[in-house]
Amino acid sequence: MRCYFLNDGRIVGVEMLPPGLSDKNVIARAHMLALERKSPFDGFEVWHRSRMVFRYQAPSSAETVAPTRPRSERPLTDDRTHLDALGPDWP
């Protein structure tokens, strides 16, 4: 099996993985190789011959979503906030 390291959709490195490992073990090994890698990359793919076993794509900064607080922690608002700015007597 092979682990291809990608940067902007291009292969920037290849690591051979030991034969006979399960898909789960190969994915774990690929993650370890990614952590050890010094050159820049934004994802990797693990292939066994013509079968893609796993693909990892790091989220871009534009895709990163800011964390939100759970609903139960959101501040409560006054029920009258839905009233028109002209006041409650406005028809």
2 strand-pairing partners = 16, 47
pLDDT of residue 58: 85
CA dist., res. 3 & res. 53, Å (int): 10
Which segments of the chain have a pLDDT < 50? 63-68
pLDDT of residue 29: 95
DSSP per residue, the chain: -EEEEEETTEEEEEEE--TT--HHHHHHHHHHHHHH--S--SEEEEEETTEEEEEEEPPPTTTPPPP---GGGSPP--GGGGS-TT-TT--
Residue keyed to tokens 């796993």: 54
pLDDT of residue 64: 45
pLDDT tens for 29-51 read 999 999 999 888 999 999 999 99
pLDDT of residue 39: 86
